[in-house]
Amino acid sequence: WEYTFDSIGDPILVHDRAGRVLRGNQRLSRLLGRGGGALVGRSVTEVLPVQNAAYKSCPYCEGVSGEGDEPDPWLPGYFLASNSTFTDPSGLQLGTVHVLKDITDRKRAEEKYRTLISSVQEGVFISTPQGRFLDFNDALLRMTGYENREELLGVDIPAAFYANTSDRERLTKLLQQHGRVADFEFEMLRKDGEIRTMLESSIAVRDAAGNVTAYQGFLLDITERKQAECEIRRRNRELMVLNSIAQTLTESMDLSDSLHRTLRQIAELFNLDATSLYLFDQEGTQLRRIAAVGHRSEFAKHFPPVSVNPELMQHIKSVRATFLPAQGLSLPPIFRDAQLKEEIVAAYVVVLWSKDHVIGGLVVGSRTPREFSAADVNLLIAVGSQISSAIERSILYEQTRQAYENLRRTQEQLLHSEKLAAVGQLISGVAHELNNPLTAILGYSQLLTSSGQMGQQGMEYADKLYKQAQRTHRIVQNLLSFGRQHKPERVPVQINQALEETLALRDYDLRMHNIRIHLDLAENLPVVSADPYQLQQVFLNMVNNAVDAILEHSTEGDLWVRTGLDGDRFSVEFTDSGPGVKDASRVFDPFYTTKPVGKGTGLGLSICYGIITEHGGIIRVRNIPARGASFTIELPRQPEASPAPSTPWQSTVLEGMDESS
């Protein structure tokens, strides 16, 4: 028995009721550094000195030591005491046997495990199924925002830990059914009220009967990751929208349609109630709305051009503003009225820049209070930049198209001029050929009249023959005059005579097209210093345009021609019964025409404007109700400018005869 007692690996201490050592095995003696016989008969207080830990008779009986939580005060390491009393046959207690289980290696392993758990970033925990923490690491304490372990140990997990109690119910149901969960996502409520997104991976611990006794697992805070994922998704969506807007703005040259579709995309992306786009006119003083989406009231749908405060524009340019709240700007009152009628409570302006110039603004509005994040502001500015680029491309395209159209018309004009020059040569040749028979007709008609061999009726016929021959002769002379080239020179000119000679050239055509001429020529007009051929070119162009305008909408019409003198200025007025001019501000622009392709080049009225201006006069046009277009030419009695040198498009009168506006 003694051999068996000494062979036990754990220290054994036996003492009586008085606290005297009855027996100790070899392991206890070695740990205390004494022989086995040196222990027997001594009091426990001698073997285990009280100064190491305070107790009365036996530290293991009194629970001062032997719990295994702390190192043993007398034995090297951690020991867990197992206490058993022994009695005599009558049941009287004789003493106590202490078997001290050496748990030093286990405690060291637990310490290593605890150190490892404490160092990980994930929250590690053990909790009861009812919802109380049994243990956890420091990472979990930091995640939850509680100040100390005792505070967190007292937390009711289902009530205070979950932002949505339904998440706790789903989690416990999964653990009950499957015994484990992996990457279970839920929102955790910190002590300070902040909501964090968590991932839990845990298992259900069961006893031998299969009942769940605890939950243990890991918690990972993925709030920043979720925010980053949301930001990435938002940025991807923004890039997709930007790409879509860029495609919308570039796929069509119909700027109005592209801008309307772009505004709808902006409203959808930013959840806006109303968006509108405004552009400045060429002078940069008036703002005109060119596209709008989301407006309800008739007042806002019909927005007139408005002038902007110059001081506001100066301020925007000085700071190169790109995004401004509309509430703080000194905008015209009509903007405030439109916002009130549309119930817009939050509005912002994205300034559209083209290099160093402000070309307009993108206005975005919401019927509920709204603030934009920095990312949203940057995105709106990027959209505004795309819109500015699209407008610039549209303007460049229009300028290129106009330049190409002008070039095409110039080429047509050159070809037209060459054809007219050839026609002029042909007319000159025909007129020369007609002169000889006309001279013979005039001579013979005079001989018949003076011969005295004809009766009264024959005399009348000969007289009519002579007069018609003279009329034909004048027409031939006018054609010869027009067919020749003349250097511009100022000579005294009778305006009425120049008009009558011009009308005589078109007399046959006027009668054939049933166009009635109404002359109201002032009598006794003084002469004007002018180039007669250039004036006839202007008058002929006026008549040609009037005939074309009348015949465009009718098979007959009227042309009123009036001359007069007002003070020191002559006036010549041509009024037709046509439909009038469509755009009076552009009729004198080069290449502007409303006639079909091939009918006119758009240079006629521009040439007329240049000729009258060189003579110190003015030419203007207006529409008269119940009639049509009315062109008025005013010339000074004394020239206000010296004759200008000849230009190619003024070299011959014939080149301007068929020019049209």
Q: What's the structural domain count of the chain?
A: 5
Q: Residue 356 — very low, low, confident or very high, per pLDDT cuts 50/70/90?
A: confident
Residues 621-651 pLDDT 10s = 898 888 889 999 999 986 444 443 333 322 3
SS3 label, residue 307: strand
Question: Is 591 among the domain residues?
Answer: yes
Of the three residues 483, 516, 543, the one that is the final residue of a domain is 483
Instruction: Provide the token pair at 173.
Output: 């149901």
Q: Are residues 639 and 539 in the same domain?
A: yes
Q: Are residues 208 and 258 in the same domain?
A: no
Question: Is 112 among the domain residues?
Answer: no
* Cβ neighbours for 354, distance < 8 A, ≥ 6 positions apart: 388, 391, 392
Q: What is the pLDDT of residue 627?
A: 87
Distance of CA 557 to the CA centre of its chain: 54
Q: Are residues 647 and 503 in the same domain?
A: yes
* Cβ neighbours for 555, distance < 8 A, ≥ 6 positions apart: 513, 514
Q: What angle do CA 582, 585, 589 make, to 5 degrees?
A: 100
Question: Is 381 among the domain residues?
Answer: no
Candidates 61, 69, 63; CA nearest to 96 is 61
Read off the pLDDT of each residue in 33-39 and give the average, rounded to a whole number. Answer: 77
Residues 272-308 pLDDT 10s = 999 999 999 888 888 999 899 998 887 777 888 999 8
- The mean of the pLDDT values for the chain is 84
Q: Are residues 133 and 102 in the same domain?
A: no
Instruction: Provide the token pair at 520.
Output: 């109201």
Q: What is the DSSP string of 244-285?
A: HHHHHHHS-S-HHHHHHHHHHHHHHHHT-SEEEEEEE-TTS-
| Range list of H helices, 484-591 | 495-505, 507-512, 532-553
Query: In whole angstroms, what is the distance from residue 389 CA to residue 380 CA?
Result: 14
Read off the pLDDT of each residue in 495-519 and give the average, rounded to a whole number. Answer: 89
Question: CA torsion 633→639→642→643, rounded to 10°?
Answer: 50
Query: In whole angstroms, what is the distance from residue 653 CA to residue 420 CA?
Result: 10
Q: Are residues 94 and 60 in the same domain?
A: yes
Q: Is pLDDT larger for residue 36 or for residue 268?
A: 268
Question: Is 242 among the domain residues?
Answer: no
Q: What is the pLDDT of residue 448?
A: 83
DSSP 525: P
Q: Are residues 494 and 640 in the same domain?
A: yes
> Maximum Cα–Cα distance for the chain, whole Å?
198
Residues 204-239 pLDDT 10s = 999 989 899 999 999 999 999 998 888 888 788 778
Query: In whole angstroms, what is the distance from residue 608 CA to residue 606 CA?
Result: 5
CATH number at residue 452: 1.10.287.130
Does the model's pTM come out above 0.85?
A: no
Q: Are residues 547 and 510 in the same domain?
A: yes
Per the structure, the complete domain to which residue 608 belongs is given by 485-657
CATH number at residue 564: 3.30.565.10
Q: What is the DSSP string of 367-435?
A: SS-----HHHHHHHHHHHHHHHHHHHHHHHHHHHHHHHHHHHHHHHHHHHHHHHHHHHHHHHHHHHHHH
Instruction: Provide the token pair at 72.
Output: 């043993």
- The two beta strands, 557-566 and 515-520, are parallel
* Cβ neighbours for 209, distance < 8 A, ≥ 6 positions apart: none
Q: Is the pLDDT assigned to residue 561 strictly greater than 90?
A: yes
Residues 174-204 pLDDT 10s = 999 999 999 999 999 999 999 999 999 999 9
Q: What is the pLDDT of residue 632?
A: 93
Residues 414-460 pLDDT 10s = 776 666 567 667 777 777 788 778 888 888 888 888 887 788 888 88
Q: Is the pLDDT assigned to residue 54 strictly greater than 60?
A: yes
Q: What is the pLDDT of residue 638?
A: 65
For 395, what's the count of Cα atoms within 13 Å in the CB-facing half-sphere? 11
Q: Are residues 418 and 562 in the same domain?
A: no
Residues 134-173 pLDDT 10s = 989 888 999 999 999 899 999 999 999 999 999 999 999 9
Candidates 420, 333, 323; CA nearest to 374 is 323
Question: Is 301 among the domain residues?
Answer: yes
Instruction: Say if CB 145 and CB 161 are below 8 A apart.
Output: no
Q: Is pLDDT larger for residue 472 or for residue 573?
A: 573
Q: What is the pLDDT of residue 112?
A: 75
Instruction: Say if CB 285 and CB 359 are below 8 A apart.
Output: no
Query: In whole angstroms, what is the distance from residue 125 CA to residue 134 CA?
Result: 8
Query: In whole angstroms, what is the distance from residue 393 CA to residue 412 CA?
Result: 28
Q: Are residues 176 and 41 in the same domain?
A: no
Q: Are residues 308 and 273 in the same domain?
A: yes
Q: What is the pLDDT of residue 640?
A: 43
Instruction: Say if CB 577 and CB 555 are below 8 A apart.
Output: no
Question: Is 240 among the domain residues?
Answer: no
Query: In whole angstroms, what is the distance from residue 265 CA to residue 619 CA?
Result: 50
Q: How many CB atoms lie within 10 A of CB 560?
A: 19
Q: What is the pLDDT of residue 651?
A: 30
- Gyration radius of the chain's alpha carbons: 56
Element (H, E) at 529: strand 528-530
Instruction: Say if CB 96 and CB 85 are below 8 A apart.
Output: yes
Q: What is the pLDDT of residue 482?
A: 54
Q: Are residues 476 and 596 in the same domain?
A: no
Q: Are residues 491 and 640 in the same domain?
A: yes
Question: Is 245 among the domain residues?
Answer: no
Q: Is the pLDDT assigned to residue 592 strictly greater than 70?
A: no
Q: Residue 347 — very low, low, confident or very high, per pLDDT cuts 50/70/90?
A: very high
CATH number at residue 77: 3.30.450.20
